[in-house]
Structure 1
Amino acid sequence: MTAPHYSDSEVGTLRTVLLHRPGPELKRLTPRNNDKLLFDGIPWVARAQDEHDAFTAALRERDVEVLYLTDLLTETLEQPDAREHAITEALADLDLGDTMRGYLEGLLGEAAPEELTTYLTAGIRNDEVRGGFGLVTSLLAFDDFLIDPLPNLLFTRDSSVWVRDRVAITSLAMPARKRETELTELIYTRHPRFAGTPRMHGAHLEHVEGGDVLLLKPGVIAVGVGERTTPAGAERLARQCFAADLAHTVLAVPIAQERATMHLDTILTLVDTDKVVVYPNVVDTLQAFTVTAEGDREPDGDLVLTVSDAEPFFTAAARAMEIDTLHLIDTGLDPVTAEREQWDDGNNTLAIAPRVAVAYERNDGTNAQLEAHGIEVIRIAGSELGSGRGGPRCMSCPVSRDPL
């Protein structure tokens, strides 16, 4: 028997997933703020919604239960203590000043749950307030945000990760995304569906982002370390997984600190128990440090960690997974298409069962490679969804998978 919420791999049959349908927060993006809000482009929101609806429909056609983050948040905000906590977190910004903070506290406090969800996710502009006028409103531009929008909510993978029956609330590195983890943590803490769910990590700890965490096999976890996840974050997550007996091996994988490879899942994702789709330009250089825990403990009670010397990632992964080899499927058909399709999230696939994966339809070369290796590809449109540089895996947080 397993818990109702459970995930021990990347490829076990997907039963429940957390998504966020693009909403008004994406309409807040402009050429002036999209870099700050971590979007490479400004999406056509109506088309992005159509594409996301098709993604959702493809999952439901395979009997996957879809949970929407904003629905869960609205239901959570029906509880007075949850509302108070969410408002306090949203108004903690030191840039607001006492006058505006006091006004917004009243505005948000009187909002209905659904309206409060919109305020918390789409933000509030300076020209939208009807009170709290003072020095802050006078000196800010009319279109400056008092509460920033959260366009990256689209990528639900980053703010939480399920490891078996436990959910890890991550700690997002970029200031523009800090409130995402606060709202995600509120849902897992206060929503009745998740009552009693064991939690670990948290927004207050060292930086770890879900796009860097791959469950290679029950007990084996790979953690990318680079632009978003720090070495200290990888160590903290490893210690917590070892202490809770969720893993026996963690592979710390250094990745290039550049926009195109911000997370480990922009380089590789699993499509079967022993197959990965991988950006071929990094295959020969990708390294891993194997981390395990000894039985002894430090004087302060912490587990003693053993860290190996760096070795080729795919060698270390196969050994930890107890298989002869990890079969590699190249992104693209040649170095040029590989680079282009990696940028377009060709290897950011979502496995919904062994040998069944959701992928963007635009990556013809990568999808052909997958099918040639026996993988069923469920193609979805992503011309607008991809403007934030994230694929099907980025846009989904598996809550329940069948045990592998």
Structure 2
Amino acid sequence: MPSTGADTEVGRLRTVMLHRPGPELRRLTPRNNDRLLFDGIPWVDRAQDEHDAFAQALTDRGVEVLYVADLLREALALPDARRETIDDALAQPHVGERLAGRAREVLDDLADDDLAQVLIAGLRHDELSARRPARRPGVVSALAAPDDFVIDPLPNLLFTRDSSAWIGDQVAVTSLAMPARRRETSLTRAIYRYHPRFAGTALAYEPELEHVEGGDILLLAPGVVAVGTGERTTPAGVERLAGRLLRSGLAHTVLAVPIAQERATMHLDTVCTMVDADAIVMYPNVADTLTALQVCLDDDGVLRVDPPRPFLDAAANAMRIDRLHVIDTGLDPVTAEREQWDDGNNTLALAPRVAVAYERNSETNARLEAAGIEVVAIAGSELGSGRGGPRCMSCPILRDAVT
């Protein structure tokens, strides 16, 4: 049996990668939460309780749960992994040469577990000074406040879907658009490159390329990949990813899906997610307007881009089914919009017709159940403060094929 890979969104989930929120969330303040992409200051203890319950719900269904912090710590046992992640952490434009040299001396001396925590939770100037005082501070150190960050925390690492996505037997280590998130992929890439569990894994995408985020990648069916383009994933990123998937045989059709550039629809998976091999839960306000451009290879190996057509028609055609069944998230436009904001469409399929959803989206969940979808409801009052649902918080590592 393979130990990695997925070619649909709904095959039985066997292994998933999560990140339990930790000290990086405690770094959020009213002064920095907007820059770090959170709507508010989460209650960290409650967020951890909610995440533990989420992980337990997966474990209860037979899903193996891997944690980013554990995988990173184990990968950092290799010197090349330490060097690459430290280099990336200190290559940020606010650091400067003098400060980077002093910080490197501290990071090089840390045990693997402590280094993993610093790479995730960040490092403040006063924390650095406590370990290695600046006898002759440079300009950056002299002008910094004690609670300014040398290494920024990564509170959005919670949303593991965005920094990597498995497509077939390869993994796309993505290129994140927002400055507050870009360093996440250096940790993800170190895990896939150096952790023994993923030895030999081929990369379908790399962080240095045009912006593509995992929340915009939907595996509609084997060989059919939809990629949203809007606030986070650029058209150039879709083109690059499509070319790689098509030429490697990981896909025969890629659908480029323009989405509204609004915060409530930052990724395609905030608009729609798969809950069965031929069923999708979708925000009703866009169901009739969402379009897709079909991208394939012509006989000469050149990308062929067809004119836009309705997304549901294009998806059904590429999936070779009569139609894609739509479960919308409420008849009342106000209710639909409220539950869209609370990630009502951001479900995680555990198997065909079984999906994890936030319990607070009662209208959406009722409509899913009425359509024959078993809903595994979880609490998310604090987890949702970063604007992400169960799908956002999970990176499937292994799914069964759908038969």
Q: Tell me if 1:236 matches 2:240.
A: yes
- Mapped to 2, the partners of 1:51 and 1:11 lie a distance apart of 23
Q: How many residue pairs are counted as aligned between the two chains?
A: 397
Partners of 1:154 and 1:311 lie apart in 2 by 35
- Secondary structure at 1:157's aligned position in 2? helix
Q: Within 2, Cα distance between the matches of 1:304 and 1:98?
A: 44
Partner residue in 1 for 2:166: 162
> What residue is the counterpart of 1:361 in the other structure?
359
Shift of 1:101: 1.1
CA deviation vs aligned residue, 1:286-319 (integer Å, no higher than 9, x gap) = 01001111121xxxxxx30111111110011111
The answer to whether 1:183 aligns with 2:149 is no
Distance in 2 (CA, whole Å) between partners of 1:22 and 1:240 is 33
Matches within 5 A, 1:199-218: 199-218=203-222
RMSD in angstroms over aligned alpha carbons?
0.9
Contact 1:333 1:366 in 2 (8 A): no
Q: Distance in 2 between matches of 1:340 and 1:206?
A: 32
* Aligned residue number for residue 340 of structure 1: 338
- Equivalents in 1 of 2:279, 2:240: separation in Å? 28
Paired residues of 2:176 and 2:232 also in contact (CA < 8 A): yes
Structure 1 residue 169 displacement after superposition: 0.8
Tell me the SS of whatever aligns to 1:186.
Answer: helix
> What TM-score, normalized by structure 2, do the two folds share?
0.97
Q: Deviations over 1:143-185 (max 9, x none)?
A: 2111000000000000111011111111001111111011100
Instruction: Tell me which amino acid in the other structure corresponds to 1:326.
Output: L
Structure 1 position 332, deviation (Å): 2.9
> Hey, what's the Cα distance between the residues in 2 that align with 1:310 and 1:44?
44
Question: Using the alignment, how far apart are the partners of 1:361 and 1:200 within structure 2?
Answer: 35
1:294 maps to 298
For 2:124, the aligned partner's letter is: R
Give the distance between the partners of 2:320 and 2:220, measured in 1 at CA.
11
SS of 2:183's equivalent? helix
Letter in 2 for 1:290: Q
SS in structure 2 of the partner of residue 291 of structure 1 = strand
SS at match of 1:10: coil
**Equivalent residue for 1:151?**
155
With 152-161 and 136-145 compared, the bigger mean Cα shift is at 136-145
Residue aligning to 1:99: 98
Letter in 2 for 1:369: R
Q: Secondary structure at the residue paired with 2:385?
A: helix
Structure 1: distance between partners of 2:205 and 2:96: 31
Quick check: 1:332–1:363 contact (8 Å CA) kept in 2? no
**Partners in 2 of 1:81 and 1:308 — Cα distance?**
44
* Larger CA deviation: 364-373 vs 134-143: 134-143
Partners of 1:338 and 1:94 lie apart in 2 by 41
Q: What is the Cα deviation at residue 135 of structure 1? A: 2.0
* Superposed displacement of residue 284, structure 1: 1.3
Identity %: 67
Q: Which residue of structure 2 lines up, in the alignment, with residue 375 of structure 1?
A: 373
- Code of the residue aligned with 1:372 in structure 2: it is A
2:284 corresponds, among 276, 280, 284, to 280
Name the aligned partner's letter for residue 396 of structure 2.
Answer: P
1:39 is matched with: 38
2:106–2:128: 8 Å Cα contact kept in structure 1? no
Aligned to 1:121: 120
TM-score normalised by the chain length of structure 1: 0.97
5+ long unaligned stretches in structure 2: none
What is the Cα deviation at residue 94 of structure 1?
Answer: 3.0
Q: Distance in 1 between matches of 2:204 and 2:283?
A: 31
* 1-structure distance, mates of 2:115, 2:128: 15
Name the amino acid aligned to 1:89. Answer: D
The aligned counterpart of 1:300 is none
Unaligned runs of 5+ in 1: 297-302
